[in-house]
Structure 1
Amino acid sequence: MDDYYSDGPTTAQDTKLMTKTAHSFRLAALLVASLFMILASGFTPTAQAALSETSVKALDTISKAFNATKTMNGEFIQTAPNGDTLQGYFFIERPGKIRFYYSKPSYTDIISDGKTLSIEDRKLKTQDIYPLSKTPLRVLLSENLDLARDPRVRQASIADDIVSVVVEQESLFGDGILTLIFDREQSLLRQWTIRDANGNDTTVTVFNVETGKPIKPSVFEIKYDLSPTND
């Protein structure tokens, strides 16, 4: 994949910017990972909010379509609370595998190979490693999504062409509110917003999405020989 997304030569200015913002980009990457909270096990259940019959039907349709989708790829734009944006490419193969490849000025690469989650800095050639079972990323990668009956779903709203789902989330990386936006007609995930405990919103929008397309196994390979990141 790197042949198609070349970073180009390193400059002193690139290195200075990368060093100054590396920690921020890793935190942003963890916010993207928070999307996958919905199906994660091991959290304390809460009483499920009452959903209308129309909402339950819409969520069942979305869950059924999502469960039938084994691969997904496309592009994303991530918008930080201050309005700054990052963008890149994503690849998903359920169950267990995912890659979020950030374009410059970020050098972040989020990879799950089905057992382990890596957040890699491609420029520094370092990474943070987490067991997939201990991170939010296990969520979307599970085999069975059931939004209508998930106790973390607090609200579902239906407009003409979208379905909005509000989820209470808890993770190793902090608590917050996750709002998922699905295309009502195609049942595709289009956008999600994570509101943290301080009320700050980070939004990720996906586009040019393809489903059912074979993905090379090498896309999900983790470089286990890389050094850990020094915070």
Structure 2
Amino acid sequence: MRILTLAATLIALAMPASAQISVGEISRYLNSFRTAKSEFTQINADGSISTGDLSISRPNKARFDYDAPNKGLVIAGGGQVAVFDAVSNTPPEQYPLSQTPLSLILANNVDLGRSGMLVRHGGDATQTSVTLQDPAHPEYGNIQLVFTPSPTTLRQWVITDDTGSQTTVILGDMQTGASLGSSLFNIPVEMQRRGLSN
């Protein structure tokens, strides 16, 4: 009986380390889909909360449609990120996607084993988190991804930008393999639709 108890104790002690999702499995999961849709809740650095719908089309494309009263729009496409203000008639603020941590999971091939990319990896039987940065430009900030197992599913991310400000995005049930038109991620087309010019 003591041997059985000892064996059960050893198994229980071993479970947290072995139960976390491996880096290889997370890479496989992120590369297993090209498109995805999900509702999201965003907690901003100032504590305010926004909700909306997220569309992803890898490589390098994403769209955040914010619900009222915000009604903002953020598009990643064409190597740029454009932030559209719902109440302004001015062109969107734009900056290179490559300078944002989000680019790490929108890449054509996600390889968490890339040297210097993985900053932290930990978890237990209920969830696993990984923190990633661009090894060539750690000053751009980092992104922490949280996954649940069986099957591996992305549940949220936390982006820490170059100023140290954090934005948390909590995902609803993600629908992968979604049919998404390319115009959703076309910044010039969206600007034209809104009657904006550079």
Q: Same fold (TM over 0.5)?
A: yes
1:112 aligns with 76
TM-score by length of 2: 0.73
Alignment RMSD:
3.0
2:12 is matched with which residue? Answer: none
Question: Would you say how many aligned residue pairs link Structure 1 and Structure 2?
Answer: 175
- Are 1:205 and 2:181 counterparts? no
How far off its partner does 1:227 sit?
A: 4.3
Match in the other structure for 1:92: 56
Q: How does 1:1-231 map to 2 (within 5 A)?
A: 58-126=22-90, 127-168=92-133, 175-195=140-160, 201-222=166-187, 223-225=190-192, 226-227=196-197
Cα distance between partner residues in 2 of 1:86 and 1:185: 29
Instruction: Tell me the distance in 1 between the aligned counterparts of 2:97 and 2:160.
Output: 23
Letter in structure 1 aligned against 2:72: T
Q: What is the one-letter code of the residue matched to 2:81? A: L
Describe the superposition over 1:80-123 as per-residue Cα deviations: whole angstroms up to 9, x where unpaired: 34432111111011112210111122232111233332211133
SS in 2 for 1:83: coil
CA positional deviation for 1:59:
1.3
Alpha-carbon distance in structure 1 between the residues aligned to 2:80 and 2:164: 30
The CA deviation string for residues 16-45 of structure 1, in whole angstroms up to 9 with x for no partner, is xxxxxxxxxxxxxxxxxxxxxxxxxxxxxx
Matches of 1:128 and 1:82, distance apart in 2: 20
The Cα of 1:151 is off from its aligned counterpart by 1.1
Task: Tell me the distance in 2 between the aligned counterparts of 1:177 and 1:130.
Answer: 17
Q: Cα gap change, 1:97/1:201 in structure 2, threshold over 3 Å: closer, same or farther?
A: closer
| Residue-by-residue CA offset, 1:150-208 (whole Å, 9 max, x unaligned) | 41312211211211112356899x65453210122222221122346776543210112
The answer as to whether partners of 1:79 and 1:204 remain within 8 angstroms in 2 is: yes
Quote the residue 2:11 is aligned against: none
1:162 is matched by which residue type in structure 2? Answer: Q
Distance 1:141 1:197 in 2: 19
125-134 vs 97-106, which moves further: 125-134
Work out the CA distance in 2 between the residues paired with 1:210 and 1:129: 28
Q: What do residues 36-89 of structure 1 show as CA deviations (whole Å, max 9, x unaligned)?
A: xxxxxxxxxxxxxxxxx9599711011112112110111111113443211111
Query: What is the SS of the residue equivalent to 2:59?
Result: coil
Q: Which runs of 5+ in 2 are unaligned?
A: 1-16
Q: State the TM-score, normalizing by the size of structure 1.
A: 0.63
Q: Could you give the per-residue CA deviations for residues 135-154 of structure 1, whole angstroms, max 9, x where no partner exists?
A: 44433221111223441312
Distance in 2 of aligned mates of 1:197 and 1:141: 19
Question: Which residues of structure 1 form unaligned runs of 5+?
Answer: 1-52
The question of whether the paired residues in 2 share the 8 Å contact of 1:55 and 1:157 is answered with no
Taking a change above 3 Å as real, the CA distance of residues 169 and 103 of structure 1, as seen in their structure-2 partners, is farther
- What SS does structure 2 have at the residue aligned with 1:139? helix
